[in-house]
Amino acid sequence: MSVSRRDFLAGGAGLTATTALGLAGGVAHAEIALGAIKLDVVSDGSLSLPADFIFGPMPKDELAPIIKEYGLAPDILTPPCNVTLMRHGERTILFDVGSGPDFAPNSGTLLSSLEALGVAPEDVTDIVFTHAHPDHLWGLLDDFDDPLFTEASYMMGQAEWDYWMDPNTVHTIQSERTAFAVGAQRRLEMIQDQMSFFKDGQEILPGVAARASTGHTPGHMCFEIRDGSESVMVLGDCIGNHHVAFEQPAWISGSDQDGDTAAKTRVALLDQLASEKTRIIGYHLEGDGTGYVDKTATGYKFVAES
């Protein structure tokens, strides 16, 4: 019996490689039921980032007590990567696809996480992108550089697509992110015939509405998933961590491409989420990324569910 390259990757070999790296124990799994909608949060592993990638522009004296309070390492941050899987009727939907094999050594575990739920790549019917940074997009391809989700249709905000597919972006993006632009263009070109676009406020799928949350990237979107009176907001990276983004949301973060716009987005969204007591799923929030936003006297707090 012949075994295709994709079957090999999606099966036991992929799981064995993950276990060998010591990552299998880090597979996050949270379940959320919204009427007929089922959400699972699964792990794509974690990143290892220089702390200055986020903290660089921030006032060091005021930052120090936050680092101490949250027990953060002063030089390296290791945020988790939490991917949202939605199942509704005959649809199996992924919000972002993780890093794949080419971005970071401790990421790229999405396939084994999905396999634990009995979901194979060919079962995915729709993929919705929050934005096109590597840890959200590069999992589009397998180890052999072929599209992995062979039966899926793709959706992205029109402004996000236009930015990354603009040939000038490679030359105008911050120099340390040039590889982001090159990698995004190469991958998006491979799926452009299966791609559809949306704008702020559109219901892109039954029960899923797009919400502009720009700044981290020029066309970043988050998504409100609703059934009746219950809702969950899939944040992507517009609220990018569980510590300083909540404690001091108005501070400029080095992780954002447009720091001023991202800070305004963060402040407004946190205020809304706290006042409405909306459940959230954050791509890089601690644990499995699920929880709520609490308003405090000086800022906000992430209240994790697990």
Residues 257, 185: Cα–Cα separation, whole Å = 17
Mean pLDDT score, 60-64: 97
Q: Which residues pair with 133 in a beta bridge?
A: none
Smallest Cα–Cα separation from 100: which of 144, 139, 47?
Answer: 139
Which CATH number does 5-304 carry?
Answer: 3.60.15.10
Mean pLDDT of the chain: 91
pLDDT at position 75: 94
Is the per-residue pLDDT at 2 higher than 50?
Answer: no
**The amino acid at 147:** P
Q: What is the pLDDT of residues 252-288, one digit of tens each?
A: 999 999 999 999 999 999 999 999 999 999 999 999 9
pLDDT of residue 19: 29
pLDDT in tens, 86-132: 999 999 999 999 999 889 999 999 999 999 999 999 999 999 999 99
pTM of the predicted structure, to 2 decimals: 0.91
Confidence of residue 5 (pLDDT cuts 50, 70, 90): very low
Residue with tokens 């986020």: 54
pLDDT score for 27: 64
The token pair at 118 is: 């009995």
Show me where the domains of the chain are located: 5-304
- For the four alpha carbons of 99, 104, 107 and 111, in that order, the dihedral sign comes to positive
When pLDDT is averaged across residues 195-200 and rounded to a whole number, the result is: 98
d(CA 19, CA 16): 5
- pLDDT, tens digit (0-9, with 9 covering 90-100), for 146-170: 999 999 999 999 999 999 999 999 9
What is the predicted pLDDT for the residue at 142?
86
